[in-house]
Structure 1
Amino acid sequence: MKQLYIKQKVFSLSEKFTVKNEQEQDVYYVEGSFMRIPKTFSILDPGGNEVALITKKVFSFLPKFFVEVDGREVLTIQKEFTFMKDRYSIESADIEVQGNWWDMDFQVMQRGAVVGEVSKEWFTWGDSYSVQVLNEELEAIIIAIVVAIDCVKADNAAASSSSS
């Protein structure tokens, strides 16, 4: 089991942040493509190698995000058409997210077994998440899921604030 922490800076225009371990050492670096189309987030290891990529589909009626790990697509996050509350679906062959992923309190499952747990840290400056990795082989996928869901939420919040 591994405990990781993601903390985003509130006023960061560069869209860069780090994932740290319990000893507060940098384990991954996340770099967003500020003001570029398509919108992407790269997750890099300490050596600068890309381990995951999150890409927002450019021309889509409803927002859609693709998550790739080690060059292969592992899941898709898609906004569903609803009239009231926003709803998103996560599609994957063997990865499933259960719980309240909109409030960032969920479990990542693979074939029915819990492989990771995510919870939002409240009362912090900026978005902070605690990520417990139970299957270290899926560590990059779990981090990518957290970053992708956070990106979906940030895009939704930006769209809501620009429409009001």
Structure 2
Amino acid sequence: MRYLVRDRMFAFHEEAWIETEHREKLYRVNRKFLRLRRTFALVDTRGEHVASIVRKAFTIHHTLLIKQDGELTAKISKKMFTLFGDRFKVRLRDGRRLTIAGNLWDREFDIRHDGTTLAHISRRWFTIRDAYAVDVLSQQDALILLILAVCVDHTLQDAKGDQVTNL
């Protein structure tokens, strides 16, 4: 199933919406800025807190922690040095290890487990800067795959210094 992540430009605080391909809103990503940490809250359409994404401060690798119901669900880290493309490592609570590999310039990434593609993240077909598609091939892991897509996008924007200024 295809999902779209759309950033709201010119909001009083940064937020993004995760929608189905039919424009049905599912989740809102609120970005809260703290002094030493940067926190994102994933909230459903009823306002229920679904997950938190916390950027660890003072780490060598860009590391984000994903928490659901107060428990660590996943840890995602960007590899510092790669010859070709960008690579991320993901460790899930159930012990699975995922890789996210792709190319910043092509704006194409795949989330994989043991050589099987679970999701594909793409900005290629969007001419506007504030939207990208996430094609989820594993519906049982859809929520965590969407959260990982948001993490990858956030990490790459941070790396480029591409911060949106709020009005």
TM range (shorter): 0.7 to 0.9
**Residue in 1 aligned with 2:38?**
39
Per-residue CA shift, 1:20-42, capped at 9, x if unaligned?
11221101110001355410111
Q: Could you tell me how far apart the structure 1 residues matched to 2:10 and 2:77 are?
A: 26
Residue 52 of structure 1 pairs with residue 51 of structure 2: yes
- Matched letter for residue 116 of structure 2: A
TM-score, normalisation: structure 1: 0.77
Contact 2:32–2:39, Cα closer than 8 Å, also in 1: yes
Distance change in 2, residues 1:101/1:54 (3 Å): farther
Which of 87, 93, 98 is 1:96 aligned to?
98
The number of residue pairs the alignment matches comes to 158
Partner Cα separation in structure 1 for residue 2 and residue 126 of structure 2: 20
Counterpart CA distance in 1 for 2:67 and 2:37 is 15
Report what 2:138 is aligned to: 135
Name 2:154's counterpart in structure 1. 151
Larger mean CA deviation between 34-43 and 14-23 belongs to: 34-43
- 2:76 aligns with 76
Percent identity of paired positions between Structure 1 and Structure 2: 22
Q: 1:63 to 1:51 in 2, by over 3 A?
A: same
What residue is the counterpart of 1:3 in the other structure? 2
Residue deviations 1:106-153, cap 9 Å, x none?
Answer: 222234432222211445333311111222221111111111111111
The structural deviation recorded for 1:158 is 1.8
**Does the CA-based 8 Å contact 1:52-1:141 persist in structure 2?**
no
Q: 1:110 to 1:83 in 2, by over 3 A?
A: closer
* Gap change, CA 1:18 and 1:90, over 3 Å in 2: same
Aligned Cα root-mean-square deviation (Å) = 3.0
Q: TM-score, normalised by structure 2?
A: 0.76
Structure 2 distance, partners of 1:141, 1:66, is 12
Name the structure where helix makes up a greater proportion of residues: 1
The range that moved more, 30-39 or 18-27, is 30-39
1:117 and 2:117 correspond? no
| Structure 2 portions without partners, runs of 5+ | none
CA spacing shift, 1:62–1:133, aligned 2, 3 Å = closer
